[in-house]
Amino acid sequence: MAEEVKLIGLSMSMFVIRVKIALNLKGVKYENLEETFGSKSELLLKSNPIYKKVPVLIHNGKTICESMIIVQYVDDVWSDAGPSIVPSDPFDAAMARFWSYYIDDKWFPAYGEVIKGQTREAKIEAAKEAIATLQPLEEVFQQQSKGKDFFGGDTIGYLDIALGCYLGWIKAAEKLTGLEFFDKNETPLLAAWAECFYSNDAVKCAVPDVDEFVEFSIKIQAKLNA
């Protein structure tokens, strides 16, 4: 029997993008179940009754929630397909998980303030704070990549997905503020990584156009103002 793989998500969600990239890397075909911004479908509420948020992966009738947990699941289930996502070395894997948590715990709230900013000046100040939270990852990249193109080495890995899912939103913030988040002088390794990651086929088909992120950020701003 063919496997049933469905993804409940919102195309603009960085957390949904994570899962799409993982599935694409593994060559897994799936049905995309798009949610409507501002509302939650009955299927979503039934599938994730605790947090009531996307993404949710449905695999042969079983539901898996939380983006990085799903990424781990995809890597485990389709271990023979495509490159490994989670580092094989236990220490490297632990560090990848640590810094992926840092990204969601420190970077994401800082970036959220850019979207919430009521004026361009407020967005610029928030962007400066967000950029500062990215800078420690320059050294992390040097340690994790071992001189290769990605945090995962030769191929996109766990930490690449954790950070790379934000690149569309970062590009949108750059358009809104005029600031460069990955400065080639301050963070040259991350700047090169971002270009390499964004050009990968598994990423390109998972990430919407930057103008869509800009438009969506305006919708979020309007919703917050309301």
Task: Write out pLDDT tens, residues 51-104.
Answer: 999 999 999 999 999 999 999 999 999 999 989 999 999 999 999 999 999 999
**Residue whose entry in the numeric block shows the structure tokens 């049933």:** 4
Residue 82: inside a domain, yes or no? no
Distances (CA, A) of 220 to 114, 126, 133: 11, 16, 23
Tell me if residue 223 falls in helix, strand or coil. helix
Q: Within this chain, do residues 56 and 149 fall inside the same structural domain, yes or no?
A: no
| DSSP codes joined into one string, 104-132 | IIIIHHHHHHHHH-SSHHHHHHHHHHHHH
Q: Within this chain, do residues 52 and 98 fall inside the same structural domain, yes or no?
A: no
Residues whose CB is less than 8 angstroms from the CB of residue 220 and which lie 6 or more positions away in sequence, other chains included: 115
Give residue 97's domain range: 90-225
Residue 192: inside a domain, yes or no? yes
Does 224 score more than 90 pLDDT? no
Phi and psi for 9 in degrees, rounded to 5?
Answer: -165, -175
Q: Within this chain, do residues 72 and 107 fall inside the same structural domain, yes or no?
A: no
Residue 84: inside a domain, yes or no? no
Banded pLDDT at 1 (limits 50, 70, 90): low
Q: Is the entire prediction scored with pTM above 0.75?
A: yes
